[in-house]
Amino acid sequence: MSSKSGLDAVVVGSGPNGLAAAIALAREGASVAVFEGADEIGGGLRSAPLTQPGFLHDVCSAVHPMGVLSPFFRQLPLEQYGLIWRRPAASVAHPMPDGDAVMLYRSLERTAAGLGGDAKAYRRLVGPFLERPHDLLADAMAPLRIPAHPVGMMRFGVRAAFSANRLARLLFREAPARALFAGCAGHSVLPLTSPLTAALGLMFAITGHVEDWPVAQGGSQSIGRALAGHLESLGGRIETGRRIERLEELPAASVVLFDTSPEALSRIAGDALPPGYRRRLARYRYGPGVFKLDWALDGPIPWRDPACLEASTVHVGGTLEEICASERAMYRGRHSERPYLIVCQQSQFDETRAPAGKHTGYAYCHVPHGSTVDMTGPIERQVERFAPGFGDRILARHTMSPAWLERHNPNYKGGAITGGVADAFQLFNRPVTRLDPYATPNPRLFICSAATPPGGGVHGQCGYWAAQSALRQLARG
């Protein structure tokens, strides 16, 4: 396939989508080079000793239901390049204000057994999707198109179209099931009264019954390294420390794929893109940011319900009502005193993260776009509420504001970590409304980041689908 002069393809950015795009191109015989602005590959897949020597923290992504279940990653021999998934006994724990935790276990029966009077309703909601979950995932983690498995997708869509708040209230009568669902839907970074937020609640619940949400041994950086190792085995090349500001800085190539924000695509491509398309890119909405803490801990988090230690992810925020209130406030530009938190406890399942007997802790909450408010106090008080004595275990902490995150990775505009708002409109129309969202009006230029369908998360599906679009262009010559 190699072009007469130069490379077939260049990828700007080495996040999971940039690396996935490069692999998808290279395995079809294309010559590919990746240019990464940072000194390390991986984008949202980097890990670092942020607090004290001996403690290894995931700077961004931590827990990988989408990584382990990604239709594209599942085809790749990543274990040959050092990726080892470490699986917890439970995917999610959700401590309730009364002290007990609701658990999401792989076993549907075991999970339902913890949901009291809502056991049957939960089984009825999730059970049918567990017959052919990979078909559903393949359709859901793709651009808008006629689904390959329309019946399952239709069944999913009918429920997913609701807001998480409405579906939880319609189906469940008791606080534990409602809270478990709200905690899963909270990953949407939207008010839980928004249409389609039920989609993420339902999808995350389903994934928890297909796989135990794993962490990567040695940190999420192991996923990036495995992708890079596989790419290099296919002949791909990666250069770090190469922040691209103008198209002219890139070597000659038939196609260029941008694992960047829409804003960076527009700025770098400049006049190579028509003004109308650039104006549409400028209207892209990035959405709320996050404020994140990493801790070096003297021991495990002392949850009131010790079952929480079985889970890689703990959704901290109490009842459905409390989570709705926190996410609504954040979306309206306010900071909740009792924020909904995503807490991860990687060192419970991967002993490489901390010295013997010690642990790492990781938590973030959603904050308004570009917020400068220090959320350390509200986050630590919220953990303490469900884990009395937590504060005494803290040996050291590292804080990340939205500005810190954007400095770390220019894709995280205003601290937004999932590539841009994924509401009912922008979930599919990202970065703009186009039949082929990965293509641009310039037939040589493509976008492959989380600002394209299916959106945020470590799954590489945006990169895979963008590569299919670029391969069609390469075939046209």
Ligand X SMILES: Cc1cc2nc3c(=O)[nH]c(=O)nc-3n(C[C@H](O)[C@H](O)[C@H](O)COP(=O)(O)OP(=O)(O)OC[C@H]3O[C@@H](n4cnc5c(N)ncnc54)[C@H](O)[C@@H]3O)c2cc1C
Which positions lie near ligand X, rule CB under 6 A? Answer: 12-18, 35-38, 43-44, 60-64, 66, 243-244, 259-260, 264, 290, 292, 364, 405, 409-412, 417-419, 449-450, 456-458, 462
Q: Cβ closer to ligand X: 97 or 270?
A: 270
CA distances from 90 to 86, 208, 212, 354 (A): 12, 8, 6, 21
Tell me the H-state helices in 298-408: 320-331, 376-386, 402-408
Q: Which is nearer to ligand X, 340 or 412 (CB)?
A: 412
Give the C-alpha separation, 317 to 383, whole Å.
9
Helix and strand numbers (H, E) in the chain are 16, 16
User: Closest approach of Cβ 441 to ligand X, in Å?
Assistant: 20
The answer for residues whose C-beta is within 8 angstroms of residue 473's C-beta and 6 or more apart is 254, 255, 439, 443, 444, 446
Of the two residues 60 and 115, which places its CB atom closer to ligand X in the complex? 60
Distance in Å, CB of 83 to ligand X, minimum:
14
Q: How far apart are CA 386 and CA 189, in angstroms?
A: 22
Least distance between ligand X and beta carbon 231 (Å): 13
Closest CA to 138 of 70, 88, 90: 70
Smallest distance from ligand X to CB 411, Å: 4
Of 180 and 247, CB closest to ligand X? 247
Q: Which of 165, 222 has the CB closer to ligand X? A: 222
Which helix (H) or strand (E) element contains residue 22? helix 16-26
Nearer to ligand X, 162 or 362 (CB): 362
One-letter amino acid identity for 475?
A
CB 228 within 8 A of CB 19: yes
CA distance 12 to 21: 10
As measured in angstroms, the least distance from the Cβ of 461 to ligand X is 10
Output the smallest distance, CB 392 to ligand X, in A: 26
- Going by DSSP bridges, is the β-strand pair 359-367/341-344 parallel, antiparallel, or unpaired? antiparallel
Minimum distance from residue 404 beta carbon to ligand X (Å): 10
